Structure 1
């Protein structure tokens, strides 16, 4: 019998939140911090809650792992040898604690896609209101890991997914519900630590909670939606740093050696898998005072620039996928699947595409073109990296934008979720 099958007490796994509104417990950093993005399958915690005493036990076990006390006698030695500077000093403490999501992201959960802003927080399930914070404190450095809930409809679907059972009728449903209560859904993992420590934390989470930790590759679709939502939520300013969008290309060059071996018969696109990448990336910089002009011009477009017209990949799904690469977020195929209403929801991107096509003859919506990074005065978002900038006190707009990030990343995770039969 596996760990997942032991115990049938459906008592729930997340403890009740602290009823004291004036609780002075420290909150984890989120703003002005660069995180790497990862996804985590549901954490198996068994029939018991993750109470503070249990978290203290888990923290001690993680500390023993980090200092190499109980890992088959192998000394890991992460404290000084595998860190960038080698000067972090000895390990002082390891802590695991719950935190309320609104203490980090703010109380405003409205924004893009939410009309009744005041009721969104109250409508969230209790499992969507709390996250898990892992803090690793050295003498001269601090590393953190944040496990965040998935917010919005995508999070509700993930939290209510039932495990398939080969049992008759009501017995299957009741047993499935009992098993579901033994799991915690915290699918978004944000890490701020060196790579060797990331690997150890990922392995420790996998072994402790019987889960799978993997990198979360944010592609073109997520980056575009975040930027367009940011414009609607916070707006754009006419001052501050420049807006920079980095375009990358899945356009490898043909291997010159094939010309010599085959008498010059090599053509662009031949043996794509065996060639090295060609053009790496292009940075497009837009001054802050021009951002509103792009957004305004996009709203005034009569129709979106065509993704493709009369080209071989326009209606060939397999060829589009080959041109776009392995990330399901890339390829721009989702543009053609969206309705006219959804099509008008990204005016800035449409205007940028029209501008690049007119001045550079660059088809932004070609499957081989992808957006690799967006950087502005409010955030930096790349394929596996996230940073949200906060200046001064927390504002309602910034809080809504922070919740928008959590919602969009949750949608990205749920879009890659396995069918219920495999969860």
Structure 2
């Protein structure tokens, strides 16, 4: 079986941003020819060699970052879930696999992946939504969560392009301490469920909790608390015995321990839990690195009714919560639109598809040269299916 590159949500450190709905008028944004046009326009801005059809020459990001080399390719592509990602790359590697498809339909897309391939480095960004809540105001597409992995000079141009092309508001997404800790509690809750076949120590491993004091003092920036993997379950069990710890047993136990041994009250408003780091994820108030979850062992489940592993369920819950957090509480939308969108969004996606097992393939990295050849082959296939571009480049 051909190697499949890792799903882009996993294994990369992203800065977090939130987006207002993207305005594009009557022409749908989630349309391959339209995305190709935006890729061409962004490429021209990054290269700095064309303004309204006139060749120009000025110092751009490539001069500021000489180690990147020339920009070989800029692409905008719709991205689906992990299964769609694997189907797409397996079909690109094996054109005879006619039962698979490289196309992601707009109604099933998670969002858009923007990829920048320089000679020496590759960068990307993800504009994401909850695929179970795809409604948007007319002429807009809501992709509230923006994940960006780019150096600052390139990132500034990319964010400016999003603002000006879609009349969008782009701001950093700052996660609260409550969100950071609830993410950890979600992982632990799934791992300790009666149906879980995975252990806390194997999935979480060593856990590091960072405490920061932004409004209390300038002398102490942060304090890191490291807990060995074998002791995480002990904190969790202890929290289950404490009062008012039903929804957050680990955090409650940690607070009791810190209060007793360090005389530090982590529930104080001036004490923030600013980052958690473990084997499954690194989540800070402004950035994220999520690792691919282990799938369930097919030998212990009925193949006709595949069950998601505890790690997969935790990732599903976390993804849904992060998208909702980025969408906010109506800061960018009117209140009635926000209420309508939230009422159609379930609190937690649950079931995995029957082909979920194949996700393990996507953990195998592929060579960059093969990736570029695959993209070229996909472009030829896509042009044959979609025909002429429906959005003229002004």
Distance in 2 of aligned mates of 1:384 and 1:370:
13
In the alignment, which residue of structure 2 is the partner of 1:7?
A: none
SS of the equivalent of 1:363 reads coil
Contact 1:251 1:279 in 2 (8 A): no
Cα distance in 1 for partners of 2:57, 2:77 equals: 28
Query: More deviation in 386-395 or 42-51?
Result: 386-395
Taking the TM superposition and a 5 Å limit, the aligned residue runs for 1:170-249 are 180-234=137-191, 236-238=199-201, 241-249=205-213
**Unaligned regions of 5+ residues in structure 1, if any?**
1-23, 107-124, 162-179, 254-276, 305-343
Q: Are 1:82 and 2:64 matched, yes or no? A: yes
Structure 1 equivalent of residue 268 of structure 2? 366
Rate the CA distance shift 1:284–1:56 in 2: closer, same or farther, 3 A.
same
State whether residues 67 and 75 of structure 1, in contact with CA within 8 Å, keep that contact through their aligned partners in structure 2.
no
1:38/1:103 Cα in 2 relative to 1: closer, same or farther (>3 Å)? Answer: farther
Q: Secondary structure at the match of 2:321?
A: helix
44, 47, 52: which one pairs with 1:64? Answer: 44
Asked if structure 2 preserves the Cα contact closer than 8 Å seen for 1:42 and 1:187, the reply is yes
CA contact (8 A) 1:38 1:214 kept: yes
1:100 and 2:99 matched: no
Hey, what does 2:15 align to over in structure 1?
36
Distance 1:105 1:364, change over 3 A: farther
Distance in 2 of aligned mates of 1:220 and 1:105: 33
1:387 aligns with 2:369: no
Q: Deviations over 1:390-417 (max 9, x none)?
A: 3776883333232222212123223353
Q: Hey, what's the Cα distance between the residues in 2 that align with 1:241 and 1:25?
A: 27
- Conserved 8 A contact 1:230-1:401: yes
Preserved contact between residue 128 and residue 323 of structure 2 (Cα < 8 Å): no
CA-atom RMSD in angstroms: 3.0
Q: Which runs of 5+ in 2 are unaligned?
A: 87-104, 193-198, 298-307, 338-394
Q: CA deviation at 1:87?
A: 1.8
Pair 1:26–1:250, CA change in 2 (3 A): closer
The equivalent of 1:291 in structure 2 is 232
Aligned-residue offset at 1:229:
0.5
1:269-294 C-alpha deviation (Å, 9 max, x unpaired): xxxxxxxx232111001010110111
User: Quick one: which of 220, 225, 241 aligns to 1:279?
Assistant: 220
Q: CA deviation at 1:224?
A: 0.8
d(CA) in 2 for partners of 1:30, 1:421: 30
Residue 238 of structure 1 aligns to a residue whose secondary structure is: helix
- Mapped pair 1:47 → 2:26: yes
Normalised TM-score (structure 1): 0.63
Distance in 1 (alpha carbons) for counterparts of 2:332 and 2:113: 28
Partner of 1:414: 327
The number of equivalent residue pairs is 295
